């Protein structure tokens, strides 16, 4: 929240609230800010909401136009995610059963694989839940911006990112373990005792909490921006509840530390995974 000379208040909304509102257009393009047009309790005060992303569909249709092309594409993408997620749930469940069998017990590598299968299982389920919460809003199956739907979207999104980090970093640790086993087979047995191997899932859990916890805490669901009076913000006319950033966390995390957390969570894993796979390939050849 930003105040300029006590007359201008801007609320930065969380992206999943931005996705379900139609921001105004300027010169044919959606703006990233919408401000009040009435005076409220003060003739000089202006209340604004701001988004980091534009919420208009590529063909310009409104969020409420559930029969538009953008909604159809979103629905088809949701079906792909649901089908893929259900396939992942069944596959990982079968992997867990096989790895828990008598013939596969007792090896450290199979233990790590079984933990990865559990994390992938959670990730598939939470992804289905999170995308369903969005498509239910887009297609008019639920009331957008209600207290219940806002909390459901917020919780499901946090769960999706949390489980995603679990799967990614567990995969990275397994990849590193494979490389070390190929490059230093005798030393790896000493480096990865059963005690240390069992600590890996806990380390991954700690990393996931560290990377996703601050963002989950920094946002909250609240009644739309009032500040003591009903303000006429057109984008929020049908949205009684919004998700927005806490002011103290916004200043401390969002403009600084969140950049580092996003780098560790989204940018760093892929090159790390590729590098260790390449090194493993080189060692085997």
Please, are residues 154 and 208 in contact by the beta-carbon 8 Å criterion? no
pLDDT tens-digit profile, the chain (285 residues): 444 445 677 888 888 888 888 888 777 677 788 887 755 444 567 778 888 777 666 666 777 777 778 788 889 999 999 999 999 999 999 998 888 876 666 688 888 999 999 999 999 999 999 999 888 888 878 777 778 888 888 899 899 999 999 999 999 999 998 888 888 877 777 788 888 888 999 999 999 998 888 888 888 888 776 555 556 788 887 788 888 887 777 666 656 667 777 788 888 899 999 999 898 888 887
Counting other chains too, the contacts that 77-85 makes at CB distance below 8 Å and 24 or more residues apart are: 78/131, 78/132, 78/134, 78/135, 81/127, 81/128, 81/131, 82/128, 82/131, 82/132, 84/124, 85/124, 85/125, 85/127, 85/128
Element (H, E) at 4: strand 2-4
Provide the pLDDT for residue 136: 86
Q: Please list, residue by residue across 124-149, b when 16 or more beta carbons sit within 10 angstroms of its beta carbon and e when fewer do.
A: bbbbbbbbbbbbbbbeeebbbbeeeb
Task: Report how far apart, in Å, the C-alpha atoms of 246 and of each of 131, 165, 220, 262 are.
Answer: 25, 24, 7, 19
Structure tokens that stand for 162 in this block: 């949390």
Classified as helix, coil or strand, 142 is coil
Provide the pLDDT for residue 83: 96
- pTM for this model (two decimals): 0.83
Scanning 10-107, the segments in alpha helix (DSSP H) are: 15-18, 69-99
User: Which of 152, 145, 155 lies closest to 223, judged by CA?
Assistant: 145
The number of beta carbons lying within 10 Å of the beta carbon of residue 175 is 18
Classified as helix, coil or strand, 22 is coil
Provide the pLDDT for residue 145: 72
Write phi, then psi, for 105 (nearest 5 degrees). -75, 155
Give the C-alpha separation, 88 to 121, whole Å.
7
Please, are residues 11 and 34 in contact by the beta-carbon 8 Å criterion? no
Provide the pLDDT for residue 267: 87
User: Which of 259, 248, 231 lies closest to 1, judged by CA?
Assistant: 248
Scanning 8-146, the segments in alpha helix (DSSP H) are: 15-18, 69-99, 108-138
């Amino acid at each position: 929240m930003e105040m300029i000379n006590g007359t201008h208040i801007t609320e930065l909304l969380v992206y999943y609230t931005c996705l379900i509102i139609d921001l105004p257009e300027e010169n044919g393009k959606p703006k990233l800010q919408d401000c009040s047009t009435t005076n409220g309790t003060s003739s000089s005060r202006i209340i604004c909401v701001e988004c980091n992303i534009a919420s208009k569909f590529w063909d310009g249709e409104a969020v409420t136009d559930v029969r538009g092309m953008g909604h159809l594409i979103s629905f088809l993408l949701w079906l792909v995610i649901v089908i893929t997620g259900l396939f992942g749930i069944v596959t990982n469940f079968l992997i867990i059963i096989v790895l828990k069998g008598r013939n596969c017990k007792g090896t450290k590598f199979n233990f790590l694989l079984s933990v990865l299968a559990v994390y992938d299982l959670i990730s598939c389920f939470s992804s289905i839940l999170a995308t369903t919460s969005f498509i239910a809003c887009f297609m008019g199956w639920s009331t957008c911006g209600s207290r219940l739907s806002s909390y459901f979207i917020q919780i499901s999104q946090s769960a999706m990112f949390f489980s995603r980090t679990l799967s990614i970093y567990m995969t990275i640790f397994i990849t590193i373990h494979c490389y070390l086993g190929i490059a230093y087979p005798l030393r790896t047995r000493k480096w990865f005792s059963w005690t240390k191997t069992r600590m890996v899932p806990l380390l991954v859990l700690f990393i996931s909490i560290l990377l996703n916890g601050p963002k989950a805490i920094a946002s909250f669901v609240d009644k739309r921006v009032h500040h003591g009076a009903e303000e006429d913000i057109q984008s929020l006319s049908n949205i009684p509840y919004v998700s927005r950033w806490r002011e103290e966390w916004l200043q401390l995390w969002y403009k600084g530390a969140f950049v580092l957390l996003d780098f560790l969570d989204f940018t760093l894993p892929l090159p790390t995974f590729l590098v260790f796979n390449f090194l493993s390939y080189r060692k085997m050849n």
